[in-house]
Every structure is written in C-alpha cells, then in structure tokens.
Amino acid sequence: MGDIGNPAMAARVMRAAHPDPMVIAIHSSVITTGLAVGTWAGGLGIDAGYGLTAPPRIGLALALLGLLSLAPRAPRE
C-alpha cells in the first residue's frame, strides 16, 4: 500500500495537484521517508528488547499519529 510504485495513488496525487514532475518526486520522497522511519523505529523497538511484537505496535502508533494529523483544527478566535 505504501509503495512509491502504486499507480493509483500517484494518479490521485496528480489529479489533486497541477501536473508537474516535482509533485510526483515529492510524493515519492515522502513515502520513501515514511518507509525508512517506520523501519528504523521498528528496529529500535526490537533492539530495545521488546521483541518482534514491537514493530506492529510502533506501526499502529505511527498510523494513529498520521490519522490524528487529519483531524480538524479548532477555530481560532
């Protein structure tokens, strides 16, 4: 799902933004960075002694943080 080669996701990004090669480059870079950070965090969990149950739990925490970023902001007064 989080693969930079996903043509459906790339097509959706291109429809939402102006068709510019930089849009796809940034999109691919963000996904690759997310994959690297998730892998690094999972490795830290295993190395800290939490075992092989750490990566799924860390992945869940990161996914929840990502969903939280979509929450509407409180209006400023």
- Asked whether residue 74 is assigned to any structural domain, the reply reads no
Q: For residue 31, is it within any domain?
A: yes
pLDDT tens digits along 49-61: 999 999 999 999 9
Answer yes or no: is 46 within a domain. yes
Residue 12 inside a domain? The answer is yes
The pTM (predicted TM-score) of the whole model is 0.70
Between the alpha carbon of residue 24 and those of residues 19, 29, 34, 36, 69, the distances in Å are 9, 8, 15, 18, 22
Total structural domains within the chain: 1
Token pair of 69, please?
């970023």
Identify the domain containing residue 47 by its residue range: 7-68
In a domain, 38, yes or no: yes
23-49, pLDDT tens digit by residue?
878 878 888 898 899 999 999 999 999
77, part of any domain: no
**pLDDT value, residue 3:** 58
